Structure 1
Amino acid sequence: MKKNLIIYGVGKFAEYVGYVFEKDSDYEVTAYCVEKDYLNSNKFLGKLLFSFEELETRFPPSENVLFIAVGNNKIREGIYNRIAEMGYDFASYISSKSSHWENLQTGKNVFVDEGCVLQPFIRISDNTILFTSQIGHHTRIGKHALISGSKTGGNVKIGDYCYLGLNASIKQNVEIAANTIIGMGCIIEKDILESSVFTHKGTTKRNLDPDQISRLFLK
């Protein structure tokens, strides 16, 4: 018998989360919730949608678990702490379509999607999200982090509240301190101090006709 799951969130990520939990887990999505100030319907994707303020009275922690489908790390942490204080447990999702080993260690409210490739001896802490990333062996990822389309070498340490963007690459044995943002396309080859922000120089539009390039390089 499947366990009852309540998903916090009503955005595209919540829709994605609900779909994969239903298709690829031991959980059944019972309902969605969000704060009453953001509630404009009583249905979401054909499921019950109710105000977060009613959670304890309508869905007791003895019978339900939660997943927080929110991308912003700090906001997700705040919601996580509130729900934990109410006595609820959290679901995690590790896609059966991802590549991972039996010694993968994960905390609560962890999400690993179908595009991830995880080598052995990886540990992912509470409330962290991984999208389509390649993570090297013995890597440690902290709490309340989001790794999206990134790649690490082996034995990397990523601190709490970190964000790694699309095609960011981290060299082996590097430590990324807490609250760091590494933007799309960045290459990190040495340890990073706390609360650092890295961005890649933007793509430049060239004043060339596409036919000029195709004649030179696409023969």
Structure 2
Amino acid sequence: MSGKPLLIFGSAEIAELAHFYFSHDSGYDIVGFTVDDAYVEADTFCGLPMVPWSEARTRFGPETHACHVALSYMKLNRLRQAKFEQVKAAGYRLPSYICSKSVSWPDLQMGENCFILENQTIQPTVKLGDNVMLWSGNHIGHGTHIGSHTYFASHVVVSGHCRIGERCFFGVNATLRDFLKVGDEAFIAMDASLTKDVEAGSVVLGSPGTVFGPDDPKGRKIRNNYFGLDD
């Protein structure tokens, strides 16, 4: 083992991808995986130990190991946030990953546990909160701030100086005009075109975007069905 030891929290597709990217493009060595005890289904994952969370601090303690939470956007990123906070409260450092095949600048400000894949264009003076996930091929315009626990699918275009809240979801090929404000837990669907500010909890569909506010029954049904919520 030549790199820094890293434990991954997760046991599904995102965890498998985190294992691949950290293994091939970082200074970390993956030593094992962990999930909450009730979700342990096997002793190994990706050929490495799968450790119940109740045993993680004993076998791979925070004094010597970092931990990366690798979970999907289900529950509109609330689960990812909860597990991020659980791991942080246990004393672990949560490293971020940014692919070497992306473009960014030295002034990029990024929180903990971000997961940023290849072919991004991240322009100057961008700020990312904690636990932000950017899938491949996005454009993040200059001066944009993205709140914690937000998820971007691929090929999203965010123009300059946008302010995006926490726990948002942006689908493939979504587009945002410059200087927009997007509230917390907004769902910007695939191919949506956003030209005006939206409130927290809004749903935006289509191009030009049709906006369903947080109290619109249709919007709430769409959001709850897609993310498995019961709001």
The answer, yes or no, to whether TM exceeds 0.5 is yes
Is residue 174 from structure 1 mapped to residue 175 from structure 2 by the alignment?
Answer: no
Report the Cα distance in structure 2 between the residues aligned to 1:160 and 1:75, rounded to whole angstroms. 13
Is residue 153 from structure 1 mapped to residue 159 from structure 2 by the alignment?
Answer: yes
Is residue 63 from structure 1 mapped to residue 64 from structure 2 by the alignment?
Answer: yes
Q: Any residues of structure 2 matched to 1:1-219 within 5 Å, and which?
A: 1-72=2-73, 73-132=77-136, 133-149=138-154, 150-200=156-206
**Conserved 8 A contact 2:194-2:204:** no
Q: Give 5+ residue unaligned stretches, structure 1.
A: 202-219
Report the Cα distance in structure 2 between the residues aligned to 1:83 and 1:13, rounded to whole angstroms. 17
State the AA in 1 paired with 2:185. Answer: N
**Conserved 8 A contact 1:74-1:161:** yes
CA offsets per residue over residues 118-171 of structure 1, 9 Å max, x none?
111111000110112111011100011101121110001110111111000000
State the AA in 2 paired with 1:199. Answer: L
Q: Give 5+ residue unaligned stretches, structure 2.
A: 208-231
Runs of 4+ in 1 over 6 A off after TM superposition: none
**Conserved 8 A contact 1:115-1:131:** no
Deviation of 1:102 after TM superposition, in Å, equals: 1.2
Report the Cα distance in structure 1 between the residues aligned to 2:102 and 2:205, rounded to whole angstroms. 28
CA offsets per residue over residues 145-198 of structure 1, 9 Å max, x none?
101121110001110111111000000000111110100000000111111012
When the two structures are superposed, what TM-score results if normalisation uses the length of structure 1? 0.89
Report the Cα distance in structure 2 between the residues aligned to 1:13 and 1:116, rounded to whole angstroms. 18
Report the Cα distance in structure 2 between the residues aligned to 1:114 and 1:32, rounded to whole angstroms. 23
State the AA in 2 paired with 1:86. Answer: A
Name the SS for the 1:6 alignment partner.
Answer: strand
Name the SS for the 2:5 alignment partner.
Answer: strand
Name the SS for the 1:96 alignment partner.
Answer: coil
Report the Cα distance in structure 2 between the residues aligned to 1:187 and 1:94, rounded to whole angstroms. 27
CA offsets per residue over residues 88-119 of structure 1, 9 Å max, x none?
11010011001111111100001110121111
**Conserved 8 A contact 1:141-1:158:** yes
Q: 139-148 or 33-42, which moves further after superposition?
A: 33-42
* Correspondence for 2:219: none
Report the Cα distance in structure 1 between the residues aligned to 2:152 and 2:41, rounded to whole angstroms. 31
When the two structures are superposed, what TM-score results if normalisation uses the length of structure 2? 0.84
RMSD: 1.1
Report the Cα distance in structure 1 between the residues aligned to 2:120 and 2:133, rounded to whole angstroms. 11
